[in-house]
Amino acid sequence: MAKKIYVGNLSFDTNDEQLNQIFTPYGAVASARVIKDKYTDRSRGFGFVEMDNVAEADKAIAELNGKNVEGRTLKISEATPREDKPRGSYDGGGSRDRY
């Protein structure tokens, strides 16, 4: 079963291929993707890597977390499922009873 890895604090110049190269020494990389802003197409400074071998993925997480790459200290952990938040709802409170 594949393991998805979160990679944070990436340089804004890092692309998908460079992210792949960071993880390749630890095993086969199924996919590597730097997340980009949909309006500017600029990196958001984080990405995700998927590795098929769980043992290799665990080793990559352990050895790369805190490593300095391109002047940035990487923050690496197992990716967690994204929480779906309701869109457009704001529960900021406040009342107009006084008016």
Q: Give the mean pLDDT of the chain.
A: 90
What is the pTM assigned to this prediction? 0.81
User: Going along 1-99, which residue ranges are E strands?
Assistant: 3-8, 29-36, 43-51, 68-69, 72-73, 75-78
3-78 carries CATH number 3.90.650.10: no
Q: What is the pLDDT of residues 61-95, one digit of tens each?
A: 999 999 999 999 999 999 998 777 676 655 555 55
